[in-house]
């Protein structure tokens, strides 16, 4: 190296650094999408629990035995009904499906417990939607 010249990066060094950075970005994005799905699922589940608790209140106050739940980030709805004999909340179909806007995620929810307390009774899972 002559006096006054600055050392420069060799092309192979730049290629190796860009490959390492690309790998780190890929790992980060995969982790981010996993946590984003968990957050969307938890949000849908919390909204359904809130809707079910509202139904219990409406049933106690006004005798209303069903309610339709709609999420702000989905065009889909889910109807919850209360069994007047047992007082337990059920979904009108076997499950609720919510296609989340601006996402390829579909959240599927079921009521899995057979007890009247709605907390923890709604189970939701996320999947990539096919359409």
* SS3 letters across 92-130: CCCCEEEEECCCCEEEEEEECCCCCCCCCCEEEEEEECC
Look at residue 78 and give its three-state secondary structure. Answer: strand
Task: Tell me the average pLDDT across 62-71.
Answer: 89
Q: Is residue 123 part of a domain?
A: yes
Q: For residue range 110-122, list pLDDT tens digits in order.
A: 887 655 555 447 8
Residue 3 pLDDT = 63
Mean pLDDT of 10-34: 90
Domain assignment present for residue 3? The answer is: no
For the entire predicted model, the pTM comes to 0.71
Which of 18-22, 43-47, 83-87, 101-105 is predicted least confidently?
Answer: 83-87
Q: Is residue 98 part of a domain?
A: yes
Range of the domain at 55: 12-128
Band (131; pLDDT cuts 50, 70, 90): low
- Rounded Cα distance, 42 and 39, in Å: 5
Residue 43 domain flag:
yes
- In a domain, residue 1? The reply is no
Average pLDDT over residues 67-89: 86
- Note the pLDDT of residue 117: 55
Q: Determine, yes or no, domain membership for 74.
A: yes
Please state the domain count of the chain.
Answer: 1
């Amino acid at each position: 190296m002559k006096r006054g010249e600055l050392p420069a990066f060799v092309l192979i060094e730049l290629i190796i650094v860009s490959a390492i950075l690309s790998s780190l970005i890929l790992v980060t994005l995969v982790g981010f999408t996993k946590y984003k799905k968990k957050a969307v699922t938890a949000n849908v589940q919390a909204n359904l629990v809130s809707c079910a608790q509202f139904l219990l209140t409406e049933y106690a106050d006004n005798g209303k035995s069903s309610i339709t739940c709609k999420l702000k980030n989905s065009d889909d709805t889910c109807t919850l009904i209360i069994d007047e004999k047992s007082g337990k909340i059920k979904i009108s179909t076997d499950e609720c499906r919510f296609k989340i806007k601006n996402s390829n995620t579909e959240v599927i929810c079921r009521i899995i417990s057979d007890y009247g307390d709605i907390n923890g009774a709604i189970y939701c899972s996320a999947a990539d939607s096919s359409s």
